[in-house]
Structure 1
Amino acid sequence: MRPSLNSARRKAPNKFGARPKTVDGIRFDSTLEARYYEHLKLLKQAGVISELELQVKCELLPAQKHPVTGKHIRAINYIADFRVTYPDGTVEYLDTKGYEKQEFKLKAKLFIAKYKQPLWLIRKSGKNWTKEAIYA
Structure 2
Amino acid sequence: MELSDLPPWARAQAEKQLARRAKGAGNSLSAAAKAAKATGREFDSRGEYEFYIGTIAPKMATGEIVKCEQHPRFVLFPEGEYDGIKLRAIRYTADFRLEYADGTVEIVEVKSKFVRRMQRDYHIRRRIFLEQVRPLGWKFREIITADSKEEDAQWRKLAKE
Deviations 1:17-62 (Å, cap 9, x if unpaired)? Answer: xx99443232311111111122211210111211111000011111
Q: 1 or 2, which has the higher strand percentage? A: 1
**Separation in structure 1 between the aligned mates of residue 59 and residue 139 of structure 2, nearest angstrom:** 21
Q: Report the count of equivalent residues.
A: 106
Q: Does 1:31 align with 2:46?
A: yes
Deviation at 1:124, TM superposition (A): 5.9
Deviations 1:65-103 (Å, cap 9, x if unpaired)? Answer: 1x222x432110000100011111000000101222332
**Separation in structure 2 between the aligned mates of residue 124 and residue 60 of structure 1, nearest angstrom:** 26
Greater relative contact order (Cα 8 A, min sep 6): structure 1 or 2?
A: 2
8 Å CA contact retained: 1:52, 1:85: yes
Q: Does 1:94 align with 2:108?
A: yes
Which contiguous aligned blocks of 4+ residues in structure 1 show a shift greater than 4 angstroms? none
Q: Which residue of 1 aligns with 2:133?
A: 115
Deviation at 1:119, TM superposition (A): 2.4
Structure with higher Rg: it is: 2
Q: Does 1:104 align with 2:119?
A: no
TM superposition score normalised by structure 1: 0.68
Q: Percent identity?
A: 27
Q: Which residue of 2 aligns with 1:128?
A: none
Q: 1 or 2, which has the higher helix percentage? A: 2
**Separation in structure 2 between the aligned mates of residue 34 and residue 77 of structure 1, nearest angstrom:** 23
**How do 1:1-136 residues align onto structure 2 when only pairs under 5 Å count?**
21=33, 22-23=36-37, 24-39=39-54, 40-65=56-81, 67-69=82-84, 71-99=85-113, 100-101=116-117, 102-116=120-134, 117-123=138-144
Query: Unaligned stretches of 5+ in structure 2?
Result: 1-29, 147-161
8 Å CA contact retained: 2:110, 2:145: no
Query: Unaligned stretches of 5+ in structure 1?
Result: 1-18, 126-136
